[in-house]
Chain A
């Protein structure tokens, strides 16, 4: 199986699973889901190895070369995002197997379409095709949020409206690019775009639209209610993967298409400023929350801010690039694990009030451990992935003499520690408030733990040279 076939398999398989999910009997849904998810992890690993060994891959769909047709392109960044997507997806699907019992067909069908949409987004090399994938991701997320029942409708609607406006702004930028250059191919546009008014307008509208979808401060208002109200596995998918998809596109645009514009430096610094504001605003809000899921949701606002904060460092070379990727993966794994833990707690106690978490450490040791490992990774303590990511970024910030970014990075991490460790302290020190009936089984507890541990294991297996070689493929110079 060559790299092109692997790429196509990664594109088609989740969509095929979505079709099957609508047709097979209810009791097969979960097993089908696990089978395909496992297969996708294998394929994603294989694809990463192929890209690392053979370089970037491109496939012209239907045999029509751009600009007339659509090219799928994958470099190290795409392959890495696919890898993160599959690992997190597998964990969340395993959890959903136990969480949604009896199986809810809509979760599997919409979940597979969402998964396929993310793959299509990471693989697409065409700016209009990216718009369609963005809409697919957005509508998939909304369909999944409303699985949480009638209480989620307001949050879902707010999210849908803003996501629609965001993608329409993105499309406006695409139209301006086509007006100017008569081309939609990402790579070709990269050579065509010249500094000027049209490029600036396109860059501004596309970025603004994507920031709205990525919930970058101050455009984050829709995120906490939506992510807190959705069912736990859905929150995990949204916080770990969906916001990343929009952020991925921001990175893609500003390191490729608009990277050569003279305004790029200013724009990235502006993003970093917003990121710093998000880091602190989100952190403080997270500290003020009294319930676990909203706290984790606000933490996403802060962590997205952290990712935006370090974007200016990307212009300085490989160290920051590798650090950012590690941080993206660490956040995806840890955040999904945290939401899955919150779901277990909600199942076990019927609530997720932080003050009522006394004794969790004794009653749910696996979940408490998962929470602990994930929190440590998000804070960035050794030997987790989060630590190595932040270490590399700190190194880059100092090497590029960006003291403000370094300072914000450290302070933000302290704030993260403050809000994430509070529930844990309660859970281990306070006595159990009451004996809870045991309802959360192993099936519900293990996936979160495995995801959290994956952040450790992945480092043993892949970190260092193989990973750097993968990320070097297509890395912006």
Chain B
């Protein structure tokens, strides 16, 4: 088993968990954590792959690295905005869930 495959499989696992939590959970903070884990999984697939594409000097492919840094910044920006919205929603309704996800 190569390094790329091992971490690639971890990436798939993270994608699966994160996607499920982002879509299925009720608590909005949990859904956001799910989105972030999903993102981590996608990035992991990408970086793990970069180790397969080494150049003559043995350095991995830098393009996925740069793209993942972009992805991390985008994901954190979006998370920050979502958290700000979540705090306002909670302040207004006293609940950290969307109306359709409330029980009873």
Q: Using a CB–CB distance below 8 Å, which chain A residues touch chain B? A: 68, 128, 132, 135, 138-139, 142-143, 146, 150, 153-154, 156-158, 160-161, 164-165, 168-169, 171-172, 175-176, 178-179, 182, 184
Contacts and interface: CB of A to CB of B under 8 A. Distances in A.
B74 A135 contact: yes
A128 B98 contact: no
A186 to B, nearest CB: 15
Contacts of B42: 168, 171-172, 175
A219 to B, nearest CB: 11
Given A128-B67, A157-B89, A178-B49, A139 B98 contact: no
A325 B10 CA distance: 43
B98 A158 contact: yes
Given A139-B77, A171-B71, A172-B15, A146 B85 contact: yes
Contacts of A178: 46, 49, 64
25 contacts: A128-B67, A132-B74, A139-B78, A139-B81, A142-B81, A146-B85, A150-B92, A154-B89, A154-B93, A154-B99, A157-B89, A157-B98, A160-B78, A160-B85, A161-B31, A161-B82, A164-B82, A168-B39, A168-B42, A171-B71, A172-B15, A175-B45, A175-B46, A178-B49, A182-B53
Contacts of A156: 85
A179 B38 contact: no
Contact of B98 (A143, A154, A172): A154
A178 B68 CA distance: 13
Given A139-B78, A178-B46, A157 B28 contact: yes
A153 B82 contact: no
- Tell me the dominant secondary structure on chain A's binding face: helix
A68 B89 CA distance: 43
- Give the one of A143, A179, A184 with max B CB within 10 A: A179
Interface in B42-93: 42, 45-46, 49, 53, 61, 63-64, 67, 70-71, 74-75, 77-78, 81-82, 85-86, 88-89, 92-93
Interface in B1-28: 15, 19, 22-23, 28
Interface of B: 15, 19, 22-23, 28, 31-32, 35, 38-39, 42, 45-46, 49, 53, 61, 63-64, 67, 70-71, 74-75, 77-78, 81-82, 85-86, 88-89, 92-93, 98-99
A132 B70 contact: yes
Given A161-B32, A168-B35, A172-B42, A150 B77 contact: no
A139 B86 CA distance: 15
Given A160-B81, A165-B23, A179 B45 contact: yes
Contacts of B99: 154
A168 B11 CA distance: 13
A179 to B, nearest CB: 5
B92 A168 contact: no
A161 B70 contact: no
Contact of B82 (A157, A171, A179, A184): A157
- Give the one of B78, B89, B92 with max A CB within 10 A: B78
A179 B4 CA distance: 11
Contacts of B15: 172
Contacts of A160: 78, 81-82, 85
A32 to B, nearest CB: 25
Contacts of A168: 35, 38-39, 42
Contact of B92 (A138, A153, A164, A182): A153
A153 B85 contact: yes
Contacts of B19: 165, 169
A157 B75 CA distance: 15
Contacts of A161: 22, 28, 31-32, 35, 82
A164 B32 CA distance: 10
Contacts of A146: 85
Nearest to B68: A175
Nearest to A172: B42
A164 B49 contact: no
A154 B42 CA distance: 27
A211 to B, nearest CB: 14
Given A160-B78, A161-B28, A153 B53 contact: no
Given A135-B78, A153-B85, 8 more contacts: A128-B67, A161-B32, A164-B35, A164-B75, A168-B35, A168-B38, A168-B39, A175-B46
A161 B24 CA distance: 12
B10 to A, nearest CB: 14
B72 to A, nearest CB: 12
Contacts of B46: 175, 178
